[in-house]
Amino acid sequence: MASFRKLSSGWKVTISQRDNNGKLQQTSKSGFLTKSEARLYAAKIEAKKSGVISAKKDIELSKYFDYWYKTYKENKVTESTLRHYVLTSKIIKKYFGIKRIQKITREDYQSFLNWYGANHAKETVAKINGYVRACAKNAILDDIITKDFTQRTELKFNQQNSMKVEYLNVKEINLLINSAKYKLDPRYTSRYMILTAIYTGMRLGEIMALTWEDVDFKHKTISINKSYDYHSHKIKTTKTTSSNRTISVNSDLLGCLSQLKKNKMTDVFRNNQNTVPSSNAVNKKLKELFKQCNISKKGFHFHSLRHSHVAYLLFRGVDLYAISKRLGHSNMMITAKKYAYLIDEYKARNDNKIEQLMDNLGQQQDNKVIFYNGF
């Protein structure tokens, strides 16, 4: 067990462990610039002494998972993601208890997925499975186990809990835009944030973090290079490196945003209360606008506006690659997987279009084959 203290010379770590005879042994070291460095040092010492790295002794899955994410992930992920690791650790402990990682079989792990998936949605189960799989691969590299017990297992999930996110059709989007524009008042910025989400597909945290330096009225673009963390209430980096992007916006949105200039704030959406509306505030306003528009959507919330933006672009025939870049995804596979339910809905329409295009192949006019540019 390790304890940490902040000294004038830096962070100090004290590691307490009992030897084979039950006698308490302590190891201390100070001078670390950050607590994270001290924690990493402690993890390595504890791992070495407990036999994790040397594999001289067996170790519980839950304990190895804790060692793995604290050593390799804690310093690199956001606070939100770190909470997911902590939650996964609790779930592992609840199911596997003190079972040793070397004793876990594929059948054991499949039973775990069946147990957890019985009451959870597919996305939740997939996330937990991803963390455990990464941990298992690391255990192989550490010579703790020789086989990956997560391989060729199947995700099990509760279909009823896997609620499909609803989105707005073109008519509903236009209704919401007109309702949001009605009585726009720079003193209250929630309506402006909703309009921004509809027109850009930006995440709420990205919208909350926007400053006037990010808005280019001349070239009609918005640069997305930071995000707001709801938990720490601080500005952080974007979700991923690919989330840093510059997107084109229309004159209509820019005209609305220009009204906020009179607030004379650095943040675009900082209101007369000197605050940027919270998630609860914008969702409350969204519900009010839905009521005014007579729109009823179960489970619809602010992030669903991002889905609606994607649905509109797909409806208008925008290329998936362009949509992926606009959303800030690292590749099209992420976009295709995330919005598969939308893509499937437009598949039939595109299939008919493809069939019509194929019917035109081989057609001749004036006894001459028609050639198009690029062919």
216 Cβ contact partners less than 8 Å away, ≥ 6 residues apart: 222, 223
Report which of residues 164 and 340 the model is more confident about: 340
Report which of residues 22 and 177 the model is more confident about: 177
Q: Is the dihedral of CA 291, 293, 295, 300 positive or negative?
A: negative
Extract the tokens encoding 140. Answer: 């192989």
Q: In angstroms, what CA-CA distances link 235 with 51, 214, 232, 302? A: 40, 14, 9, 19
Beta-bridge partner residues of 224 = 245
Q: Is the pLDDT of residue 248 over 70?
A: yes
pLDDT value at residue 247: 95
pTM of the model as a whole = 0.66
pLDDT band at 271 (very low <50, low <70, confident <90, very high): very high
CA distance 158 to 137: 27
Extract the tokens encoding 335. Answer: 């976009």
CA distance 190 to 275: 11
pLDDT band at 267 (very low <50, low <70, confident <90, very high): very high
Q: Which of 185-194, 226-235, 255-264, 319-328 has the lowest mean pLDDT?
A: 226-235
pLDDT value at residue 365: 56
Report which of residues 208 and 362 the model is more confident about: 208
CA distance 188 to 45: 54
HSE-up (13 A, CA, CB side) for residue 219: 10
Q: Is the pLDDT of residue 341 over 70?
A: no
Burial 75-91 (b: 16+ CB within 10 A, else e): eeeeeeebebbeebbeb
Report which of residues 371 and 86 the model is more confident about: 86
pLDDT band at 154 (very low <50, low <70, confident <90, very high): very high
Q: In angstroms, what CA-CA distances link 82 with 44, 75, 100, 322? A: 20, 9, 24, 31
pLDDT digits (tens, 9 = 90+) for 285-312: 999 999 999 999 888 999 999 999 998 9
Q: Is the pLDDT of residue 146 over 70?
A: yes
Q: Is the pLDDT of residue 332 over 50?
A: yes
CA distance 280 to 297: 17
pLDDT (average), residues 342-371: 64
Residue position matching structure tokens 């437009």? 346
CA distance 235 to 345: 37
Give the rounded percent of residues in the chain with a pLDDT score beyond 70: 87
Q: Is the pLDDT of residue 133 over 50?
A: yes
In degrees and rounded to multiples of 5, residue 186 shows phi and psi of -55, -20
Q: Is the pLDDT of residue 372 over 70?
A: no
pLDDT value at residue 62: 94
pLDDT (average), residues 79-100: 93
Report how far apart the first and last C-alpha atoms of the chain are (Å, whole number).
69
Which of 98, 89, 91 lies closest to 119, judged by CA?
A: 91
Q: What is the mean pLDDT of the chain?
A: 86
Are the C-beta atoms of residues 202 and 224 closer than 8 Å to each other?
A: yes
pLDDT band at 51 (very low <50, low <70, confident <90, very high): very low
pLDDT band at 97 (very low <50, low <70, confident <90, very high): very high
pLDDT band at 375 (very low <50, low <70, confident <90, very high): very low
Q: Is the pLDDT of residue 55 over 60?
A: no
Which of 296, 338, 293, 339 lies closest to 314, judged by CA?
A: 339
Are the C-beta atoms of residues 89 and 69 closer than 8 Å to each other?
A: yes
Greatest CA separation for the chain: 98
pLDDT band at 165 (very low <50, low <70, confident <90, very high): low
Burial 191-212 (b: 16+ CB within 10 A, else e): bbbbbbbbbbbbbbbbbbbbbe
Q: Is the pLDDT of residue 368 over 80?
A: no
Report which of residues 183 and 162 the model is more confident about: 183
Which domains does the chain show, CATH number per domain? 51-161 (1.10.150.130), 170-343 (1.10.443.10)
Give whichever of 93-102, 140-149, 157-166 has the largest mean pLDDT.
93-102
Report which of residues 157 and 252 the model is more confident about: 252
Residue position matching structure tokens 């962070």? 11
pLDDT value at residue 162: 57
pLDDT value at residue 370: 45
pLDDT band at 344 (very low <50, low <70, confident <90, very high): low
* R_g over Cα of the chain: 27
pLDDT band at 362 (very low <50, low <70, confident <90, very high): low
In degrees and rounded to multiples of 5, residue 152 shows phi and psi of 55, 40
Which of 42, 84, 57, 158 lies closest to 92, judged by CA?
A: 84
CA angle 336, 72, 60 (to 5 degrees): 100
Residue 24 DSSP class: E
